[in-house]
Structure 1
Amino acid sequence: MTTALPVTFDDVRDAAARLKGIAHRTPVLTSRTLNALVGAEVFIKCENFQRIGAFKFRGAYNAAAQLPPEQLAKGIAAYSSGNHAQATALAARELGTSAVILMPEDAPQSKKEATVGYGAEVVTYDRYTQDRTALGEALAAERGLALIPPYDHPHVIAGQGTAALELLEETEELDTLIAPVGGGGLLAGSAITAKTLYPGIHVAGVEPDTGDDTKRSLEAGERITIPVPRTLADGQALPTPGEITFAINQQLVDGIALVSDDEIRSAMRFAFERLKIVLEPSGATALAALLAGHIDNRPRRIGIIASGGNIDTQRFTDIING
């Protein structure tokens, strides 16, 4: 039995109109080498070229722009391992307000510095022993700020869905759409968009094999909590899916593929050497699943969302060199 979804395709279209001229319309890349390797026509939506270097700006701005003026003036808060932090900081700057961001102590230093560079205040916590949601809610309440969560919010999900909308506007019908899944906002927004435009499309999520909370949850029919995973894909190192995102993905997503750190590393190397783009680990998981043969059906036309490229030179070099 299906139930009404908390986010609709109309919400995604409204977000696209709100983001027009604010977010980048990122390029779609093709490669004959990649097509030959996987035996299909592949289209890569390069969100590593989005503002702040990742898709997260879409959702953060869409949510912040809809706050009442009096609340926006007080400022906004967020919790994030990096990309949503930068996205919220930039959205605040664009909208003329302030931001306070809760980030893990072990978040990449480059992401912390970029967040501060956009004008935000950063407060740190231990992701392995502290509950970031509770901390973030307490911080926002204490300072009177509007909290914009990284994925579990209808306006954030609708904003993320605009990446898939742009991809499908350019490519038209695809057999399969592959997107990374952490908390599930990008996958949920992508699934809403793809299934509305092309009901027969196969929508697949990808997560690291040490952080398979979404796969386990979908198989169990309820949200499962696992220990905070240790993975190269820090943007997907989450213990449980979002409540809203899970409700959407449970209805619309056809499957979840898992990738190892070695497969992520190989995909990052392939993207750099053969596609001439830089992807961070979380941004490479969808490509990794395709290259490693983890997408079950045999599609002819495949869309991939390369979700981000926020990584410093030293870490990128360390990862691709193993």
Structure 2
Amino acid sequence: MTSITFADIQAAYCRIHHKVKRTPLLESSLLNRWLGQRILFKADCLQTVGAFKIRGATNFVAHLEETDRLPTHIVANSSGNHAQAVSCVAKEYGIPATIFAAQTISEVKAAATQSYGAELKLFDTRKEADIAVSEAAEKPGTVWIPPYNHADIIAGQGTCALEAIEDAGHADAIFAPCGGGGLLSGSLIAARAMLPEAKVIGSEPLLANDAARSLQSGKIETLNETPDTLADGAATPCLGDLTFPYIQQLDEFYEVNEQQITYWTQWLQHLLKLHVEPTSAMSMAAVVSWALSAPSGQTAIVLLTGGNISQQSMLKIWQTDYLLQPPNITEQE
């Protein structure tokens, strides 16, 4: 296994800190009072392209530049935020980019990807898109930027937790969603170096629970079809061979149902006054479970990974209004 170290994350930060935003930590006094804990939200939904994915993509290409290996063409496969990130970075470097995705890609993310000048090729399934991108990557001068299973991507994503921990000064637990595991892997590496006593806790949609199944079986499990979950940023088919060993080292892992995802998307948007993706809000189910069992007065960091939501998803999120009464925290599991 390729080993990614905290030094790799520090090197990534040095490469990209002047190219990406240092997003703020936010909190809600009302939520803190309800939970009896201090919850700090790393608002990477305010990041360039509206998602943390810009970190890994920028580090990947900046490392190529650093070693005089810039390509003449960039390709990537993605369900949305990685597509935007790669397209944005490619445009900054003046390199043509082609993105391969399934037809289920969020319309708002597809439009944003094309707005950066990338060519978008759509396929009936994620598997077909993955096959097509691997074939395109064989062409001379072409580099494939994978969404999560690469050392430079993991190191770049790890800068999100690095910044959050630096700004918080201390935390007892760090929460992040799990798709392919790049962000959680980088967060675990950063946390173990900076806050070795802190818990690192992941979550994924119950309808896209390949990571939970992988943790149970001890080997990488793959989803048979594209999952129908609001948390589209976590709808990846499987973990990577680089990320899985780090996911196995997490302190806790949660599967979150669609009602919980919807519930906390509404509440975080209301409490933080931020446009928060369902994938980001998903972590709150894990936060509540931790808050109820941990000693009161502790501090948690929650990585808010994105803020790109399509009209169709917004309609689903607001079919039922959960803001009519305060959350019944004791009922959240």
Q: TM-score, normalised by structure 1?
A: 0.93
CA shift for structure 1 position 113: 0.8
Q: Deviations over 1:45-75 (max 9, x none)?
A: 0110010000000001100112257752412
- 2:24 — aligned with what? 27
- 1:77 — aligned with what? 75
Aligned-partner Cα distance in 1 for 2:315–2:243: 34
- 1:189 — aligned with what? 186
CA shift for structure 1 position 79: 0.3
Aligned-partner Cα distance in 2 for 1:215–1:295: 21
- 2:167 — aligned with what? 170
- 1:280 — aligned with what? 277
Q: SS state of the match for residue 7, structure 2?
A: helix
Pick one of 47, 51, 55 that aligns with 1:50. Answer: 47
Aligned-partner Cα distance in 2 for 1:110–1:32: 32
CA shift for structure 1 position 273: 1.6
- 1:90 — aligned with what? 88
Q: How does 1:51-200 map to 2 (within 5 A)?
A: 51-67=48-64, 71-127=69-125, 130-142=127-139, 144-200=141-197
Return 5+ residue gaps in structure 2 as ranges. Answer: 321-333
Answering whether residue 306 of structure 2 is matched by residue 308 of structure 1, we say yes
Aligned-partner Cα distance in 2 for 1:155–1:296: 36
CA shift for structure 1 position 295: 6.7
Q: CA-atom RMSD, angstroms? A: 1.9
Distance 1:78 1:295, change over 3 A: farther
Q: SS state of the match for residue 67, structure 1?
A: helix
Q: How does 1:266-277 map to 2 (within 5 A)?
A: 266-277=263-274
Conserved? CA contact 1:174–1:303, under 8 Å: yes
Residue type of the partner of 1:96? Answer: G
Aligned-partner Cα distance in 2 for 1:132–1:193: 32
Conserved? CA contact 1:266–1:288, under 8 Å: no
Aligned-partner Cα distance in 1 for 2:224–2:196: 35
Aligned-partner Cα distance in 2 for 1:114–1:203: 32
Aligned-partner Cα distance in 1 for 2:84–2:207: 26
Identity of aligned residues (%): 38
Aligned-partner Cα distance in 2 for 1:12–1:149: 18
Q: How many residues align?
A: 316
Answering whether residue 3 of structure 2 is matched by residue 6 of structure 1, we say yes
Conserved? CA contact 1:5–1:248, under 8 Å: no
Pick one of 243, 260, 269 that aligns with 1:245. Answer: 243
Aligned-partner Cα distance in 1 for 2:236–2:62: 27
- 2:286 — aligned with what? 289
Residue type of the partner of 1:58? Answer: R
Conserved? CA contact 1:71–1:145, under 8 Å: no
Q: SS state of the match for residue 115, structure 1?
A: helix
Q: Deviations over 1:163-216 (max 9, x none)?
A: 000000011221110100000000000000001111111111110011111122
Conserved? CA contact 1:38–1:290, under 8 Å: no
Residue range with higher mean Cα deviation, 225-234 or 185-194:
225-234
Conserved? CA contact 1:178–1:305, under 8 Å: yes
Return 5+ residue gaps in structure 1 as ranges. Answer: none
Aligned-partner Cα distance in 2 for 1:278–1:145: 35
Residue type of the partner of 1:263? Answer: Q
CA shift for structure 1 position 142: 3.8
Distance 1:296 1:75, change over 3 A: farther
Conserved? CA contact 1:161–1:186, under 8 Å: yes
Residue type of the partner of 1:289? Answer: A
Conserved? CA contact 2:122–2:129, under 8 Å: no
- 1:230 — aligned with what? 228
Residue type of the partner of 2:317? Answer: I
Pick one of 288, 294, 298 that aligns with 2:294. Answer: 298
Distance 1:153 1:296, change over 3 A: farther
Residue range with higher mean Cα deviation, 276-285 or 69-78:
69-78
Q: TM-score, normalised by structure 2?
A: 0.90
- 2:328 — aligned with what? none
Q: Deviations over 1:73-111 (max 9, x none)?
A: 412110000000000001111122111100111211111
